[in-house]
Amino acid sequence: MRLEWGGQAVEVREAGSGPALVLVHGYPLDGAMWSGVARTLAARFRVLKPDLPGRGENPAAASGDIESYADFLEALVEAFPSPVGVAGFSMGGYVTLALLRRRPENVRAVAFVDTRAEADDAEGQKKRDEAIATVRSDGVAKIADGMVPRLLSEAALGNRDLVERVRRVILRQKPETVASDLSAMRGRRDSTDLLAGLDRPALVLVGEKDTLTPPALSERMAAAIPGAKLVTIPGAGHLTPMERPGAVAAALGEFFAGALV
């Protein structure tokens, strides 16, 4: 579909038919990270894989602010009648939380995939600053070198095809977009206060071997959301939608089928 946003024409990849299900990507990636999951979910849903501003099919400038990314997501979900489902991975979860703070009426259900509600602490902000300096001085390849081993489980790092697919997605991002994502994550607000008031079905999904957003954070997040369901993907690292697309699609499909239909 084509979305007019910020004075730009944005192409949003989609597949399937049924209730709209928006899959929000993480850092330093784009909507293609959801491809394996989307192919399965398209049998039951109209699945959308948007690129956030500054990459891929979205020519709008990346602004370095989670709230501006949420502006784009809000415009997208408002293009559809209720019910709409949203699943946010990692940084995409932060964007989804920013959207939910606005209480959009047509978002019926949400899934938080390998993400957290807490803001960066001082040490986390320092690491973001270091990564911004790295991408500005050494480019995206240096970011890819550091990120791939953190995104995937130790076992998945032995899958050469998967590793190369993840690297390709990262390497096609512009340095200024990567820096924007880092700045946006560094400055995001803490959303733990939002969780207890979420008034719609919620799923929290995490890889068992996720070291970036460890399972303990997801357990805490699920416990704070009334009625939330927690799913752990055995053996998977942080990037569950690419490492274990079948398992992630099954969990999301079961959840959203019950929440949106």
Determine the pLDDT at residue 81.
87
Average pLDDT of the residues in 30-47? 97
pLDDT at 88 over 90: yes
Determine the pLDDT at residue 202.
98
Average pLDDT of the residues in 48-68? 92
What is d(CA 18, CA 218) in angstroms, rounded to the nearest whole number? Answer: 29
Average pLDDT of the residues in 18-41? 97
Dump the DSSP string for 75-94.
HHHTTSPSPEEEEEETHHHH
How distant, in Å, are the alpha carbons of 76, 126, 133, 149, 173 from that of 129? 30, 5, 6, 20, 18
Average pLDDT of the residues in 89-111? 96
Chain-centroid distance, C-alpha 232: 17
pLDDT grade for 89, boundaries at 50, 70 and 90: very high
Q: Residue 143: which residues within 8 A CB-CB, separation 6 or more? A: 28, 131, 134, 135, 170, 178
Determine the pLDDT at residue 63.
85
pLDDT at 62 over 90: no
The reported pTM is 0.97
CATH code of the domain made up of 2-260:
3.40.50.1820
Tell me the per-residue pLDDT of 126-142, one tens digit each, with 9 for 90 and over.
999 999 999 999 999 99
What is d(CA 99, CA 101) in angstroms, rounded to the nearest whole number? Answer: 5
pLDDT at 113 over 90: yes
Which 8-state DSSP code applies to residue 64?
S
Which 8-state DSSP code applies to residue 62?
P
Q: β-strand 46-49 against 13-15: which pairing, if any?
A: antiparallel
Name the more confident of 1 and 5.
1
pLDDT at 38 over 90: yes
Average pLDDT of the residues in 161-170? 98
Q: At what angle do helices 91-100 and 175-187 cross, to 10 degrees?
A: 50
pLDDT at 261 over 80: no
Among 57, 58, 94, smallest CA distance to 181 is for 94
Classify the C-alpha dihedral 115-260-66-180 as positive or negative: positive
Given a contact cutoff of 8 angstroms between Cβ atoms, the answer to whether 17 and 54 are in contact is no
